[in-house]
Amino acid sequence: MVNMLSAMDASASATGQAPPEPVFDVDEIQGNVLPGFMKPRMAVIALEFGDLASARRWLGELVPRVTTMSQTMASRLKVRQERLARGVSAGSTEAAQTLDDAWLNVSLSYTSIANLRGGGDASKFEDEAFRTGLADRSSLLGDPTDPSAEGNPANWLFGGPGKAADALVVLGADRQRTLQRLFDEVVEEALAAHLSVLYGEVGGKLDKLGHEHFGFQDGVSQPGVRGLLPGEPPSYLTPRTVDPSAVPETWLYGLPGQYLVWPGAFVFGYPTPGADPLLAAPAAIPGPAWAKNGSYAVYRRLRQDVAGFRAFAEEQAASLQDQGLAGMTGDLLQTHVVGRWPSGAPLSRTPDADDPDLGADPLCNNHFEFAADTPLLPLTGGHDDPYPRAKADPVGLTCPLAAHIRKVNTRDVGNDQGGRRASFQRRLLRRGLPYGPPFPKTGPDPAHGDRGLMFLSYQASIVDQFEFLNTTWMGDPVAPRSPSGHDLLVGQNGEPGAERQRTCVIVKPTVIGTVVAEQDVVIPTGGGYFFTPSISALRDVLAATPASD
C-alpha cells in the first residue's frame, strides 16, 4: 500500500484542502527517473551481454554504484543552497561551482530481463512496445521503411537488427573530466565481464541556458511530479510557487503553468492520473511485483540536420510571403514550428519578438494556456510576473496548432482524447542532452553534420505515452486538434507507402499559409526500449541466479 500523508478525504474540492500525496521510497528509485540528474554533462553506454553468469555478476557489482533518488535529491539541495548564497535565481540552469558529482543509472531490455529471469515472470510486463522492442516498432513511429534510409533501423549505430542492447548505462556529471573517467571505468569493467560495447556517447549542454542544436532553449516545460520526500515534516518533490491563497491553482501547479501529475504516470506502484487532476486513480504495477519503483526508459539518438532545418525555414518563409503572410522570415517560421522563441519565451506571451528575460524566468516562461486568457497568479516569496499575459488562442492564430509545444501538450484545450487537460496522462520525464559540437557559423564543420540529441525519457507506459505522442499526435496531421498538420520539428510522416513529405498550416486572421517539408531534419540513428528497475530489484532479483538455473 502506498504511504499517504494523511487519511483525509481524497476529494480536495470537498474538504477545501490540498489532495494528500504519496511519500516516495527514495532509496529504491533510480535518481535519473526522479528527480532527474539535471547535470550539465551526460553519457550513454549500450551493452550486449555475453554469458548470463558474467552478466549477473557484472550487474551485481554495479548495483552499489547506482545513484538513488535520495542521493540525487541531496545534491540538488546543495545546488539550491549555493545558488541562493551566490544570488543566482532559483530557476537558473547555471551549474553549481563546488559540486563534482558523478552519477550512474542502469536500465535493461525486455530480452535481457527475460534471460536473466530464465523466462519466469518477465512476461508479466504489460507494455507491448517494451516486449517487442524499438526496432520492430520503428515504422509505427514514422521512421523510414526504406532500408537504405539513414533513419531506418538497418543503419542505426545500435538498436537495429543484430545490434540490440541488453543494458543501457546513463551517466551524469558536473565536470567533463569526471564524466570521462567514469565512462572509461564503466567500459573497462563491462569488457572485463565479457560484455560487448555496442555504443558509447558523451555529450552535454551547449551553453548555460540549455539550448539544443537548432538554437532553442530545451527542457522548459517538464511536468511537475506530485509526491513527498520523507522527513519531518515531509516536503514536496516539486516545489510549490503559487501562493496558497490562490485555490485551486496552488494545488494544480508547481511553477506557474507546470501542471502537477500523479507519480504513477512515471513510476510503477504510485497513484496514477485520473480524469480530475486533483483526484488520483489507484496505484498500479503493470508488470511483475518486483517492478515497483521502476520506470520504462526510452532512448533515441536523434541526429539534427541544422543546415537542412535552416534552409527549409528560409525556403518556406519565402513561400508564405507569396501566400500573403507578409513579414514572415526564416527565423520567425522556426519559432512558429517550435512554439517558442530561441530564448524559451513562448509565442503565446510575446508574439511579436523574443524576450530573453521572459525566456530565462522559470516563474513565467511556461505560464500560459490556450483556451482562454491566462490570469496572473500570486506567487510566493514576493515574486511577480511583469510580462504580457497570454491571450486566448484556441485556433492557433498566435501559436500554431502544429507547433511542437501544442502537439505534445494541449494544456487547457480539449483534444481528440477528451476535454480540458486530457494530455495529463501523456506526459514524459525528459532527461536528454545534446551530443556533438555546435553548428559552426563559418568554416568547416568538425562534426560533419553528426550532432543532435541524446533523447531519454521515463514513463509508466511506452505505448500510451512516448509512442502515443510520436504516432497519434506529432505524426498525425489532424490530431490532437484539426486543422493543424504534422509536427515539423520532430514528427514523422508514418502513413504506409506515403512520401516523406509533411505539411502544416500557419493561420492568421485573414490568411492561411501552408508549409511543406520534403525531408526529415531530425533523424533517428539508434536507440532502444528499456526498464529502469528499483535498487532492490537489481540486487535481489535481476543479479541473482533464478531457481530454475
Whether residues 327 and 294 fall in one domain: no
| DSSP for 79-138, written as a single string | HHHHHHHHT--TT--PPPSS---EEEEEEE-HHHHHHHTTSGGGGG---HHHHH-HHHHG
CA-based nearest residue to 39, from 170, 146, 148, 127 = 170
Q: Do 172 and 26 share a structural domain?
A: yes
In whole angstroms, give the CA distance from residue 189 to residue 213: 33
Amino acid making up residue 513? G
Range of the domain at 70: 21-300+527-542
Whether 352 maps to a domain, the answer reads: yes
Please tell me the pTM assigned to this model. Answer: 0.94
Residues 100 and 205 in one domain: yes
Cα angle 467, 488, 468; round to 5: 15
179, 76: one domain: yes
| 316 plus 296 within the same structural domain | no
State how far the Cα of 473 lies from the Cα of 467, in Å rounded to an integer. Answer: 9
Instruction: Tell me: do 240 and 176 sit in the same domain.
Output: yes
Is 430 within a domain? no
Burial class (CB in 10 A: 0-12, 13-18, 19+), 6: exposed
Looking at the structure, tell me whether residues 42 and 185 fall in a common domain: yes
Q: State whether 272 and 346 are in the same domain.
A: no
∠ CA 294-22-460, rounded to 5°: 30
The answer to whether residues 491 and 474 touch, using CB atoms and an 8 Å cutoff, is yes
Asked if residues 55 and 48 have their Cβ atoms less than 8 Å apart, the reply is: no
CA nearest neighbour of 182 among 73, 43, 79, 301: 43
> In 231-305, which ranges are continuous DSSP H helix?
249-252
**Residue 547 forms part of a structural domain:** no
- Residues 534, 499 within the same domain: no
Whether 316 and 178 share a structural domain: no
In a domain? residue 454: no
Q: Which residues lie below 8 Å from residue 426, measured CB to CB, with a gap of 6+?
A: 408, 409, 417, 464, 465, 468, 469, 473
How many residues are there in the chain? Answer: 549
**In a shared domain, residues 243 and 357:** no
Residue 11 forms part of a structural domain? no
Instruction: Give yes or no: residues 504 and 532 share one domain.
Output: no
- Domain assignment of residue 438, yes or no: no
The total domain count for the chain is 2
Over its length of 549 residues, how does the chain's per-residue pLDDT go in tens digits? 344 333 333 445 555 788 999 999 999 999 999 999 999 999 999 999 999 999 999 999 999 999 999 999 998 888 777 766 665 554 454 555 678 999 999 999 999 999 999 888 999 999 999 999 999 999 999 999 999 999 999 999 999 999 999 999 999 999 999 999 999 999 999 999 999 999 999 999 999 889 999 999 998 999 999 999 999 999 999 999 999 999 999 999 999 999 999 999 999 999 999 888 899 999 999 999 999 999 999 999 999 999 999 999 999 999 999 999 999 999 999 999 999 999 999 999 999 999 999 999 999 999 999 999 999 999 998 888 999 999 999 999 999 999 999 999 989 887 877 666 566 678 999 999 999 999 998 999 999 999 999 999 999 999 999 999 999 899 888 888 877 899 999 888 766 555 778 999 999 888 999 999 988 999 999 999 999 999 999 999 999 988 654
Return d(Cα 29, Cα 138) in angstroms, integer.
Answer: 29
Instruction: Please indicate, yes or no, if residue 512 is contained in any of the structural domains.
Output: yes
Cell numbers for 99, please give them: 559540486
